[in-house]
Structure 1
Amino acid sequence: MHSSAVLPGRRRRGRAVIVGLLSSVLMITAGVFAPVTSATPARGLAPLPADFAWGVASSGFQSEGSSPDSNWLRHVRAGRTHDRIGGSVDFRHRYRQDVALAASLGVKVYRVGVEWARIEPRPGVVDRAELAYYDDLMAAIVAAGMRPMITLDHWVYPGWVADRGGWASPSTPALWLRNARRVVDRYAHLHPLWITVNEPAAYVMNEIKIGAIAPGEVPAMVDRLVAVHREIYRHIHRRDPAAMVSSNVAYIPTVEPVLDTAFVDRVADSLDFIGLDYYYSISPANTDAWHAITDELWLAPVAADGLYHALRDYARRYPSKPLYVVESGMPTRDGAPRADGYRRGDHLRDLVYWIQRARGDGVDVIGYNYWSLTDNFEWGSYTPRFGLYTVDVRKDPSLTRRPTDAVAAYRRITADNGVPGAYRPTRPAETCSLVAGLSSCVDPVR
């Protein structure tokens, strides 16, 4: 998941950034998008294909607990986050329980991270006990009838790599690839889906925010992420020629086509599918998306029709690539009802409706992962809750997984391969969505 914690005083600046970006993009996109026609009204939904991949998503550092030394653990210990991570939801020791919860939803994909900091705690030293943990985790996922989606880098690297400069150091790509090849060689026989680098643009932003790199070092970090992605893509395909490999993108409303020039465009020939994460929307009537870069994520708008526009945008820009929603969900504040009245189950059904609409309009979307199976450490805070199962880390020492209304909704969705043909969203489409810039406004969907 993207970053949710910021240092005090960033909120007003964040809003100014979003408003400024919106103004700029409204002018730019008029020359970027070709003339379009209005979308056809819905006549009724077809279910998704039998091989559509329903899944859930998580990350290592955010959920495992028992965190070894890493760049992010140091960030927490330095007091630069709202909460201490502690044991998080203790996925490290409760993974069998969580795998069973995922399987009970009827999903077929479970996204997990394999943490470099956990398996190589010191340079060249491999922790065999931690490798055995990941071996057992992968075996449990497969035994439960699911396919692993393995993330090689979810923004976390060993403390000793941080000591050497992290992504500011030219030595990091070789070290990263040594570890990534180890993981690939160990699990390629399971034919997992692969995510090489989680949300590259957000990764860079977080490295700046925590002081790991200076703004002037951004081009070098991006170049290094491009290089390691391309190299590990080749290695994965040597081990498993039929592998499906991507790097998921945090879809930023209005500006994503510009952001994609830095990474996605440069690795497009080494992406087997476009992985995207969709969370927040923007329109002239609601520009509160700026909350997404502050510590109040639950106040950001989450209009579900924005997912349709993000999918359609990628289908137009990368027409030969299938699309997979690697992350999507809705934040609440400590599990309390949202101010806009949107319930998690309704939001999930609405998102699936728009996926079905996209498929009906010819968009080759092949999978969807809900973020996340359980609440977890949202990069600095336990306040934002995204889980299908809620866990009160701060007040419940038993870390009980309590189902939200979205659990029953997801079970019904996976059983029926979508929402019913007569379903209509609980919220109308935005009058002028700007998720994909002017394209989504002048080519609306009803």
Structure 2
Amino acid sequence: MSKFPADFMIGAATAAHQVEGHNIYSDFWAMEHVPNSVYKEPSLDAVDHYHRYEEDILLLRNAGCNTYRFSIEWARIEPVKGEFNEQEIEHYRNVLNFCHRHSITPVVTLHHFSSPKWLISEGGWESEATIESFGKYCRYVVSRLGQLIPYICTINEANMGKQITKIMKRMMSAATPKKKDTADVQVGLNVDMGTRMEHYYRELGETFGIDPSKVQPFLAPRSKQGELIIMKCHETARSIIKELHPAIQVGITFSLYDHQALPGGEVSVRKEQQEDLLDYLPFLQEDDFLGVQNYSRKIHGPEGVVPPDDTARLTKMGYENYPTALGNVLDFVASHWSKPIFITENGLSTDNDEERVEFIKQALNGVYRRIEKGIPVIGYTYWSLLDNFEWQLGYDQTFGLIAVDRSTQTRHPKESLSVLGTISAGGID
């Protein structure tokens, strides 16, 4: 039996907009409801985690897990610029207190993709003003809840805009976009360069009251200036958190692939690794941990990324089911980062829970072996706790450890939840 260290954190993760429901002041709510929306369906009441969080956290705890990563929704906290909602702060205080009462370590993400609608109307994630706005939001939250939060991820997948930018460039340069590109990002994002997208952005311009070309949500192609703004937001948040509660452990998360080279693909691998993580390291030197999020691998040939061969097992998202990718990514990260590593997302979208069980066991075996090698991995939160709203792809994707009948919001825990809890409590066979 391979048993993790006694203080190792194992649990699951969610994001507010994907599970809570009725996030009506957010940019995503607006984007889901405009005419010609590219979203398959609106989030609506999602899986009603906002009202059912106690039930969901107890299912996680009763299975044997000890950690829950979730996000606080900026659009709920500050629905109108400068007007903070104390009632919503109390809601998240209740969530945090419930975690502590039931011996669950809460890991809080301050920004997980969704933003207040007003922020996008003011320039969004390409505007210098966002740095100050994000700082004020962080100060408000941490000043009221910081004593209950041991770990904070400031921003989820800070490199996602860069990854989207690369996909768009590839698609624009191709005569016929490849089907594989639609699943090239580790989120439910379907990038479509056609006429539908043009109509969609025209509608967004009207909704946000700005030039359609200036609509800049977090999940959008990003300029170099936008990349710098994200990092300045992180640095600002970290400074505020440490000022208010120095004991809080602060980090940021990145979407990272296991980049593997075929003969001649080594240069392409090094380029992707540089862009995915290494470019950001100068901004992270004062962080306490690094959040690693991995779902699959990318194979590189002399001309760049090549699709999986016909023998590869694919997930419902369309990318390769390759659980050993996580251990390989840990090796890469540890060669450039000596502080603690927190695996904040890793998971599988499948309708066959036996595949999910296999994925979890193989992924965590890889994690255990890296800990034995001395890599300072401190936690693992599977994505996700619940089958949820997978952004543009709606409710068809099934990453969850718990299925939800959305007609009744009844929870149906899967065997994979029990397996993850057993590993947390006892280890891996």
TM-score of the two chains, using structure 2 as the length reference: 0.78
Match of 1:382 among 390, 395, 405: 395
Q: How does 1:191-340 map to 2 (within 5 A)?
A: 191-203=149-161, 212-213=215-216, 218-254=223-259, 255-263=272-280, 265-283=281-299, 288=307, 297-318=316-337, 320-332=338-350, 336-337=351-352
Q: Find the counterpart in structure 1 of residue 195 from structure 2.
A: none
How far 1:302 moved relative to its partner?
Answer: 2.2
Q: Return the offset for 1:192.
A: 2.1
Alpha carbons 1:70, 1:162 under 8 Å: kept: no
Q: Aligned partners of 1:75, 1:205: CA distance in 2, in Å?
A: 21
The answer as to 2:11 corresponding to 1:55 is yes
* Deviation for aligned residue 1:182: 0.8
Alpha-carbon distance in structure 2 between the residues aligned to 1:266 and 1:203: 18
Report if the CA contact (8 A) 1:71-1:158 is conserved.
yes
- Residue matched to 2:40: 82
Distance 1:73 1:392 in 2: 22
The 1-side partners of 2:77 and 2:382 are apart by: 27
2:394 counterpart of 1:401: no
Query: Could you say which structure has the greater relative contact order, defined with CA pairs below 8 angstroms and 6 or more residues apart?
Result: 1
Counterpart of 1:419 in structure 2 is 428
Point out where structure 2 has 5 or more consecutive residues left out of the alignment: 169-190, 192-200, 202-212, 260-271
Q: Secondary structure at the match of 1:110?
A: strand
Residues in 1 aligned to 2:384 and 2:308: alpha-carbon distance in whole angstroms: 20
- Which aligned pairs between 1:15-54 and structure 2 lie closer than 5 A? 46-54=2-10
Distance 1:276 1:86, change over 3 A: same
Cα distance in 2 for residues equivalent to 1:289 and 1:85: 32
CA contact (8 A) 1:66 1:92 kept: no
Which residue matches 1:23?
Answer: none
Q: Which moved more, 1:367-376 or 1:209-218?
A: 209-218
What is the aligned partner in structure 2 of residue 65 from structure 1?
Answer: 21
Equivalent pairs, count: 360
Assess if the C-alpha contact under 8 Å between 1:155 and 1:203 holds in 2: no
Deviation at 1:297, TM superposition (A): 4.4
Q: Secondary structure at the match of 1:48?
A: coil
Q: In structure 2, what is the equivalent of residue 346 of structure 1?
A: 358
Distance in 2, matches of 1:269 and 1:392, equals: 44
SS at match of 1:247: strand
SS at match of 2:25: coil
**CA offset at residue 151 of structure 1?**
0.6
The 3-state SS of whatever aligns with 1:401 is strand
1:167 matched to 2:125? The reply is: yes
Can you list the C-alpha shifts for 1:399-434, whole angstroms capped at 9, x where unaligned? 211122202211211121x202xxxxxxxxxxxxxx
Q: Percent identity?
A: 27
Root mean square deviation of aligned Cα: 2.5
Instruction: Output the amino acid matched with 2:339.
Output: K
Q: Separation in 2 of the partners of 1:129 and 1:282?
A: 44
Deviations, residues 28-77 of structure 1 (Å, cap 9, x unaligned): xxxxxxxxxxxxxxxxx742211111121111111100112221111111
1:182-214 per-residue CA deviation (whole Å, 9 max, x = no partner) reads: 111112112421000100111455698676339
Question: Aligned to 2:365, what secondary structure does the other structure show?
Answer: helix
In 1, distance between residues paired with 2:221 and 2:411? 43
Partner of 1:3: none
5+ residue gaps, structure 1, are 1-44, 421-446
Distance in 1 between residues matched to 2:105 and 2:161, nearest whole Å: 26
How far did residue 281 of structure 1 move?
Answer: 2.2
Task: Specify whether residues 110 and 237 from structure 1 end up closer, same or farther in structure 2 by C-alpha distance, changes over 3 A only.
Answer: same
Q: Please identify, of 183-192 and 376-385, the stretch whose mean Cα deviation from structure 2 is larger.
A: 183-192
Residue identity opposite 2:47 in structure 1: V
2:198 maps to none
Shift of 1:262: 3.6
Whole-angstrom distance in 2 between the partners of 1:284 and 1:175: 40
Shift in Å at residue 168 of structure 1? Answer: 2.2
- CA offset at residue 362 of structure 1? 2.0
* Alpha-carbon distance in 1 for matches of 2:79, 2:221: 29
